[in-house]
């Protein structure tokens, strides 16, 4: 029962927020998603206590109200009052409406609300985006909206991780008796392989610096990659320094504690991490 309730609440919440986003785009306004979600949840709880069914924002009704000139709260309140009157006093009239006609109305709503112009973007959009749209649409039809959105988020996260992993860059320059590596990009589980391939501890001098001015350490895999690189330099009796660490990266290294052999030293307004030999 809990799993079913979670799926239903997710579907309702997602559909409501998507409807709110569409209305904001049409009316050039900005709705309050948190307020809408709390109101919907409170209303559904009260409805359940009185034996009613849960519900969410209705895209069809919203579009009818917008096309009829409704812009304020009065349109939603009037709709609720008239629905209540029909259900309480004229249920026989509602039962006379053929279900087939309601299906036809919903098809017309879908045709009217579908963004047909988005089909022209298929040739211009990245293939990954097209794949996500197709998968989410298919899963929505076969299963439900909540599962489809979850799958879409997972695929989007994997695509982002893949693209971010390809963007990391390692360049170097010689400076007196030291060598400086300039790192650019996010160091996380997807980019550690490219990160490791950019260094050559055997040919580097005793002092080697990694400049994180344009880079960040994002997760535990990034910390392990930095620690492993430091151990390679330490085994060769060399010292690896990390400079210009962002506050977030320095905090991650401090939280790692004994898991990584790094001492954070504040100096010249930029944190400096050192792998001691």
Q: Give the pLDDT of residue 267.
A: 46
The distance in angstroms from the start CA to the end CA of the chain is 58
pLDDT tens-digit map of 103-112:
888 888 777 7
Q: What average pLDDT does the segment 210-233 reach?
A: 84
Judged by average pLDDT, the poorest of 122-136, 170-184, 229-243, 258-272 is 258-272
Q: Give the pLDDT of residue 276.
A: 45
At residue 270, does pLDDT exceed 70? no
pLDDT tens-digit map of 89-105:
888 888 888 888 888 88
At residue 46, does pLDDT exceed 60? yes
pLDDT tens-digit map of 160-187:
888 877 778 888 888 778 888 888 888 8
Q: What average pLDDT does the segment 124-151 reach?
A: 82
Q: What average pLDDT does the segment 223-238 reach?
A: 84
Banded pLDDT at 277 (limits 50, 70, 90) = very low
Does 70 or 132 have the greater pLDDT score? 132
Q: How many CB atoms lie within 10 A of CB 153?
A: 12
Q: Give the pLDDT of residue 128.
A: 82
pLDDT tens-digit map of 253-269:
777 665 555 544 454 44
Q: What average pLDDT does the segment 213-225 reach?
A: 83
The rounded distance, in Å, linking the Cα atoms of 18 and 11 is 11
Q: Give the pLDDT of residue 247.
A: 81
At residue 196, does pLDDT exceed 60? yes
pLDDT tens-digit map of 7-41:
788 888 888 888 888 788 777 788 788 888 898 88
Task: Tell me the C-alpha to C-alpha distance, in Å, between residue 113 and each of 16, 59, 110, 143, 214.
Answer: 15, 8, 5, 22, 43
The rounded distance, in Å, linking the Cα atoms of 39 and 12 is 12
Alpha-helical (H) ranges within the chain are: 2-27, 33-49, 59-67, 73-89, 91-95, 99-113, 127-142, 145-166, 192-197, 220-235, 247-256
- Using the structure block, give the residue that is written with the tokens 């944190």: 271
Chain-wide mean pLDDT for the chain?
A: 80
The rounded distance, in Å, linking the Cα atoms of 164 and 29 is 33
């Amino acid at each position: 029962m809990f799993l079913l309730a979670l799926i239903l609440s997710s579907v309702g919440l997602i559909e409501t927020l998507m409807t709110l986003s569409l209305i904001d785009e049409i009316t050039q306004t900005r709705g309050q998603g948190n307020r809408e979600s709390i109101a919907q949840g409170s209303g559904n709880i009260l409805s359940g206590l009185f034996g009613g069914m849960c519900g969410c924002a209705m895209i069809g009704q919203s579009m009818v109200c917008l096309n009829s000139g409704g812009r304020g709260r009065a349109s939603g309140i009037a709709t609720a009052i008239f629905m209540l009157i029909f259900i309480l006093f004229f249920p026989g009239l509602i039962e006379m409406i053929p279900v087939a006609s309601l299906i036809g109305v919903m098809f017309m709503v879908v045709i009217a609300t579908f963004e047909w112009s988005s089909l022209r973007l298929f040739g211009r959009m990245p293939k990954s985006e097209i794949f996500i749209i197709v998968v989410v649409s298919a899963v929505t039809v076969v299963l439900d909206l909540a599962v489809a959105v979850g799958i879409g988020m997972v695929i989007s996260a994997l695509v982002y991780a893949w693209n971010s992993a390809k963007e990391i860059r390692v360049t170097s320059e010689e400076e007196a008796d030291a060598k400086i590596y300039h790192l650019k990009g996010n160091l996380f589980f997807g980019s550690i392989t490219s990160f490791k391939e950019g260094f050559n501890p055997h040919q580097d001098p005793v002092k080697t610096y990694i400049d994180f001015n344009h880079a960040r350490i994002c997760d535990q895999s990034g910390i392990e990659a930095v620690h492993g690189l430091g151990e390679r330099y330490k085994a060769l009796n060399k010292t690896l320094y990390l400079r210009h660490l962002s506050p977030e990266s320095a905090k991650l290294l401090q939280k790692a504690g004994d898991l990584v052999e790094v001492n954070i030293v504040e100096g010249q307004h930029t944190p400096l991490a050192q792998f001691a030999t």
